[in-house]
Structure 1
Amino acid sequence: MKSKNFLTALLILVVMFAFTSSVYAGGKVYKLGMSLAITGPTSDAGNPYAKGTEDYFKFVNETKILGDDTIECTIRDDQYKTDVTKRNFEEYLDDGIVMYLNYSTGSTLGLKRDFEEEQIAVLPASYHAGNLDDSNYIFLPIASYSDQLVILAEYVAKNHKGGKAKVALFVHPSAFGRGPVSDVEKAVVAGLNIELVEVVEHGKDLDNTAMLKRLMSKKVQYVISQTVQSPVATMIKDSQRLGLTASSFGEAGKITFLGAHYTGGNDLIALAGTAAENYFWTTGFNITSVPGEKTTKQLALAKLFGRDEKAANSHNYAAGIMVAQVATEAIRRAKAAGLEVNKANLYKMLNGMNGANAYSPYTTSGPVTYSKTDRMGVDLLQIYSVQGGVFKAVGEALESEYMKKIK
């Protein structure tokens, strides 16, 4: 009887070990989870983002970047609903994830305390600077929305001709949209040579005529947007119809439009058509309309996994690849150091990505650098503008001067 009980207990231990060590096909399986809006609001960004993440992890496993070990990343649609995101995250924890990939500003802020309690590193698709307040475990992939709006305001100040530039902000009516406003205001107080005339929180209006005419009456020449593509497309189409859009940067008596990461890209051109011409945009990602070795790799990945041209050329596809690249690199470094791949050691690896150990993925305009006091990854932002129907790079990638002054 004792012998039989011993064999039964031994069998249970073997089964438990198999599950807890995630041994599969001769290697270990490292579990990650992602929750994002594949459908519903902002799915125009979330859908290609999810595809980028999925494809890169497939590439990692098929090309054995981690040797016989593999990454299993479960990706679930939360339709931009924080309660669904929270439920997905809790189920991922039960499944034993070692790193988490989140999406929206609202859910990142809403789950901040959960991330602290679980002591798990999180890479969100939200670049809201407020994600980092009172947080140790959230790592922004690229420079924050605040950095993006301030660097666009800096570009306006440096290139405007004739007195102080009059600027309006056009923002999403949420924490995602409002977040950078106070930092732009602080930059102005610190000496940034623009006049911030008005902050417009847009609604669901299909006609911006009254707003645009009001801004013109206040002699506004620049509108900087922090929202998503569709309201920007509506606004710049209305401006084109009214004959208010500048044909060159800073044209007197006209409006030059600029925007942060989620306002631009090929989706904006598809939505706005010729109205997007001379739109200025900034992001921390390389885009495929600027040919090069790095974007060639992005297009090759998309082709390998049968993605259509829209997804392949999306900067949100690049953003999804990038978080998968960073997660993979953290795992690779932990393995190389002879460390167990767990939450604590991946957090340690991320904090060590700086100096000579900075990480340079092919998707970004600069290296990813993190530390215990700096959890904003890519500091360099590239400004692009639509010329001849495509986004082209404007100068070299830059780092905001005034964000350093106001932090």
Structure 2
Amino acid sequence: MVRVCSGGGISMASRAALIAGVIVVIALVAAAALVMGGEKTKPAETPPGTTSPAPSTPATPAETATETGAAGRREIVLKVGLLVDESGPTSDVGRDYARGAEAAFKYFNEKGVYTKDGVRVRFEYVKRDYAYNPSKAVEFYREFRDRYGVVAIVGWGTADTEKLADQVAKDKVLYISASYSAKLVGKPFNFFPAPDYSTQACAAVKWMAEKKQDARLALLYDHKVAYSKSPIPAIKAYAPEAGVEIVADVDLPLKATGADAERAIQQAMGSKPDFLWCGNTIHSCSLAAKALVKYGLEAVQVSNVWGFDERFPQMAGSGVEGKVAGVSPWIWPEYAKDKPGYKEVYEAAKMMGISEDKVNLRFMQGFMNVWLLVKAIERTTSTELMEKKGEALKEALESSCQGDPIQLGDITPPMRFCPGKHLPFTSVYIVVYGEDGKFHFEGPVSPEGFDCVAATQG
């Protein structure tokens, strides 16, 4: 710092030199400030595959949370990873899920998300399609963490989410997945707004037992895929308790061909089942239903949550009326358009230019996972979020254990996430495609008195 003093015997020439020096310094400081300000507002180059709901503010490897905003208003920018399968073996349900999640980011950014002390939070998300390859998921997770400094991830599959569970706990990154694996229920940073796969499957077995005494059940699922295998130990443990006999355990590839499905159905037919459990996604489950009709198997096929939705009758073809059903923890959007929660889903779709007829169960599932993240933000303060980041979000969701439950409009019942057991509720609907060619929601059904999570975890 240069200080100009008067008096003290300094000559006029010296004073002139000092004044000139001050002017030069001021000019240099002003120029530097101008340059720095320009660099600060210049949008960073968006890497390939990166998506941001606000094109003018793409996700960058800057601070995880910053306080910015027009006219000095406080605003926190939250970096989030979005891991999806849009090109791999589960893309038959993954593409719409990804669209729903992206629509939710846009919707909540425009609507406004606020911490409980009134500070606005804006999302910047980085999207990666890992094509259902767990190794690729690990690679993208490291990118999310190291390059972008995300505090939360909206993720996808079972094998990759299970594989990353201990690492995200170590890194304190909140992870909300589309995998409802029972093995994630006890992981401290993993959450989902649904019962786990095993609890869902046990509820389906209970429904079968109520439909037919001494029911016989054949299992169809990919024996090599973690998601497909996930609830099988619980089904096998619970079935005898419910009075259901497991009569066959048949391998049906996740990426089955029509011939694969026909072989699986023919193999199952030998055991004369009353029910089939399909543990894959909708592509192979619909092929199995088509084969069931072709070979005249007198049984009802019940598919898991990812194996049955609004498209099933069209994909399976004629003749499946009264022969197929599926598990869903929620009423589908088409049947509750005007109810709280569902209205928000449709509003988000409209913002993205997506017509109402394209809003389905998968779109809603993606929206719900982002909404659960929003609920966490609303339960924390700006200081907690800035200082504790993912850990603050975890604690916010777990505050529902003893405090007020979390509810996503009328989509979910009141949810409680307790430390050590992130099982928000245990009931599901069995969605039956009736002989009248319409979907019927039966339930809710819950496998009360049996711990299906423990049966899975061994």
TM-score range, shorter chain: 0.7 to 0.9
Report the Cα offset of residue 62 of structure 1. Answer: 0.9
2:192 equivalent to 1:122: no
Structure 1: unaligned runs, 5 residues or longer: 245-253
Q: 1:271 to 1:370 in 2, by over 3 A?
A: same
Q: Is the 8 A contact 2:289 2:316 kept in 1?
A: yes
Q: 1:224 to 1:69 in 2, by over 3 A?
A: same
TM-score normalised by the chain length of structure 1 = 0.86
Letter in 2 for 1:84: K
Letter in 1 for 2:330: F
Report the Cα offset of residue 273 of structure 1. Answer: 3.1
Structure 2: unaligned runs, 5 residues or longer: 4-24, 41-61
Report the Cα offset of residue 19 of structure 1. Answer: 4.3
Report the Cα offset of residue 370 of structure 1. Answer: 0.4
Q: 1:347 to 1:52 in 2, by over 3 A?
A: same
Q: Is the 8 A contact 1:289 1:392 kept in 2?
A: no
Please name the residue that 1:323 is paired with: 369
- What CA distance in whole angstroms lies between the structure 1 residues aligned with 2:193 and 2:163? 19
2:334 equivalent to 1:289: yes
Report the Cα offset of residue 355 of structure 1. Answer: 4.8
Q: 1:378 to 1:320 in 2, by over 3 A?
A: farther
Letter in 2 for 1:106: A
Please name the residue that 1:250 is paired with: none
Q: 1:280 to 1:406 in 2, by over 3 A?
A: same
What pairs with 1:2-401 in structure 2 (closer than 5 Å)? 19=63, 21-26=65-70, 27-66=75-114, 68-94=120-146, 95-132=148-185, 135-160=187-212, 163-173=213-223, 174-189=225-240, 191-203=241-253, 204-207=256-259, 208-244=261-297, 254-278=298-322, 279-292=324-337, 293-294=339-340, 295-309=342-356, 311-312=358-359, 314-335=360-381, 339-341=384-386, 342-362=389-409, 364-387=411-434, 388-394=436-442, 396-401=443-448
- What CA distance in whole angstroms lies between the structure 2 residues aligned with 1:274 and 1:136? 45
Report the Cα offset of residue 391 of structure 1. Answer: 2.5
Percent identity over the alignment is 19
Q: Is the 8 A contact 1:100 1:121 kept in 2?
A: yes
Aligned residues: 387
Question: Secondary structure of 2:348's partner?
Answer: helix
Report the Cα offset of residue 165 of structure 1. Answer: 0.7
- What CA distance in whole angstroms lies between the structure 2 residues aligned with 1:21 and 1:374? 29
Q: 1:32 to 1:264 in 2, by over 3 A?
A: same
Q: Is the 8 A contact 1:142 1:377 kept in 2?
A: yes
Question: Secondary structure of 1:377's partner?
Answer: coil
Letter in 1 for 2:414: P
- What CA distance in whole angstroms lies between the structure 1 residues aligned with 2:252 and 2:289? 13
Q: 1:405 to 1:145 in 2, by over 3 A?
A: closer
Question: Secondary structure of 2:302's partner?
Answer: strand
1:290-348: CA deviations, max 9, x gaps?
23514344233312321145541x21111111111110111111138x63341121111
Q: Is the 8 A contact 1:157 1:165 kept in 2?
A: yes
Letter in 2 for 1:286: I
- CA-based RMSD: 2.9
Please name the residue that 1:251 is paired with: none
Q: Bigger shift: 273-282 or 51-60?
A: 273-282
Q: 1:406 to 1:47 in 2, by over 3 A?
A: closer
Report the Cα offset of residue 91 of structure 1. Answer: 1.6
- Whose radius of gyration is greater, 1 or 2? 2
- What CA distance in whole angstroms lies between the structure 2 residues aligned with 1:333 and 1:46? 29
1:8-47: CA deviations, max 9, x gaps?
99x99x97xx846423434221111111102222112111
Q: Bigger shift: 234-243 or 358-367?
A: 358-367
1:218-246: CA deviations, max 9, x gaps?
221110111111111111111212233xx
Question: Secondary structure of 1:339's partner?
Answer: helix
- What CA distance in whole angstroms lies between the structure 2 residues aligned with 1:405 and 1:19? 41
Question: Secondary structure of 2:190's partner?
Answer: coil
- What CA distance in whole angstroms lies between the structure 2 residues aligned with 1:209 and 1:60? 45
Letter in 1 for 2:325: F
1:244-267: CA deviations, max 9, x gaps?
3xxxxxxxxx11111110110023
Q: Is the 8 A contact 2:207 2:445 kept in 1?
A: no
- What CA distance in whole angstroms lies between the structure 1 residues aligned with 2:172 and 2:413? 28
Letter in 2 for 1:171: Y
Q: Is the 8 A contact 1:286 1:363 kept in 2?
A: no
